[in-house]
Amino acid sequence: MLSKSLFSAPAVKPFVFALSAALVATAGAAAAPELRAAEAPAVAEAQEVEYQLPWQSLHMGTLIQGQVYARTPEETKRLAGIMESEIERFDDMMSVHKETVLNDVNRRAGERVTVTPEIAEMTKMALRVAEETDGAFEPTIGPVVNLWKIGFGGDKVPSDAAIEEAVKHVDYRKVEVGETEGSWYVRIAPGQNIDMGGIAKGYIGQKLSERLKAEGAVHALLDLGGNVVAVGEKSPGHPWRVGLQSPDQTRGAYFGVLTVSDMSVITSGAYERNFEKDGKRYGHILSAKTGRPVLTDIASVTIADRDGGRADALCTALFAMGWEKAKAFLAAHKDVHAVLLLNDMKTVHVSRELRSAFTLTDETMRLEGDIP
């Protein structure tokens, strides 16, 4: 897909750095089509002016958009340019749509393939989450994903024999990540295919946030195809407000809002990538054990965390687990903070640590007891 340059976005605009209320950044679990700047408050007071630049680009098969802020138009454009450069760098490193190092790992299955430090770090993170979730998140699910192709033109149910054969090659424990002579490598077993679709956007978003802060940015909002990264606060004392997509409604309809600062907000669900066959719907989140779309009583999982990569992977895992196992996992992992909407589209559960940051906005739903 063609990339849209940052600088084809609207011109840099002044932004008044004193607000009476935060703007709902309707980017949440599914991004709104446009990020809007907050308006200046009506009261007269000493205010410090910032400049903002909204931008968007198409990379890795998804729409990436955001809003950066700085004290001068030149600095704002510089930060936006850095984001464009970094996004292109990660695209060249990890995209499944071109010749990349990550694709080379799959093409050369069975060999040690030299990779970038970022790919090594992300792979190690994926393996850790796979282990702590007992394979509910499985980075070697590639053979099964490639068989079904849900969201990528697939519209047929594979044969039982084909599914059984694909599952034979799924086992994260066979993946090796190491460093030798100053270079990192990844090796997967023959027949395996590593798929980072469940962690890459979260990981990349976190790296973009870190780079922005290293370059002096105080606050920004990034949206990688629905994975939102809130950098800093919206304005001093005012967190970002992120809307959570209603799974059964069109993009931009929200059932709740999270207020967050310096945190990733990531959602998983099977409501956007699926197909129907003989009256049955097949979602894109696949079970590593059965080789079929997961059967779950959860409609969507949202996790708010400072570690975007881990949050992304855990969203997939909790969705695949179903409510009872997800509840038990969250009870045992107090550092994971989640909002779970059950598939009755009525019942919402929220981790105790997120309760004060979450507002239920859909009056047809009910907020049940906190997740312990």
Per-residue pLDDT of the chain (372 residues; tens, 9 = 90+): 333 333 233 455 554 433 222 233 333 333 333 333 333 333 444 457 889 999 888 887 788 899 999 999 999 999 999 999 999 999 999 988 788 999 999 999 999 999 999 999 999 999 999 999 999 999 999 999 989 887 767 778 889 999 999 999 999 999 999 999 889 999 999 999 999 989 999 999 999 999 999 999 999 999 998 899 999 999 999 999 999 998 877 777 899 999 999 999 999 876 666 667 766 776 778 889 999 988 899 999 999 999 999 999 999 999 999 999 999 999 999 999 999 999 999 999 999 999 999 999 999 999 997 787
Write the burial class of residue 4 (CB in 10 Å: 0-12 exposed, 13-18 middle, 19+ buried).
middle
Question: Structure tokens of 12?
Answer: 């840099």
Strands 366-367 vs 347-350: parallel, antiparallel or unpaired: parallel
Identify residue 24 by its one-letter amino acid code.
Answer: V
- Give 3-state DSSP helix, strand, coil % of the chain, rounded to 5: 30, 30, 40
| Helical spans, DSSP H, in 99-184 | 101-107, 117-132, 142-148, 160-167
End-to-end CA distance of the chain: give it in Å, rounded: 44
Strands 240-245 vs 24-25: parallel, antiparallel or unpaired: parallel
Q: Say how far apart CA 89 and CA 97 lie, in whole Å.
A: 14
Identify residue 155 by its one-letter amino acid code.
Answer: D
Cα 123 to Cα 139, 172, 321: the distances in Å are: 8, 10, 22
Cα 150 to Cα 91, 160, 274, 280: the distances in Å are: 22, 17, 6, 14
Task: Name beta bridge partners: 274.
Answer: 283
Q: Say how far apart CA 149 and CA 121 lie, in whole Å.
A: 27
Question: In the sheet that 113-115 helps form, which strands lie side by side, from edge to edge?
Answer: 113-115, 183-187, 176-180
Task: Name beta bridge partners: 185.
Answer: 114, 178
Question: Structure tokens of 19?
Answer: 């607000």
pTM beyond 0.95: no
Q: Say how far apart CA 112 and CA 186 lie, in whole Å.
A: 6
> How far from the centroid of its chain's Cα atoms is residue 45's Cα?
39
Which phi and psi (to 5°) does residue 231 adopt? -90, 120
User: To which residue do tokens 């049955």 refer?
Assistant: 280
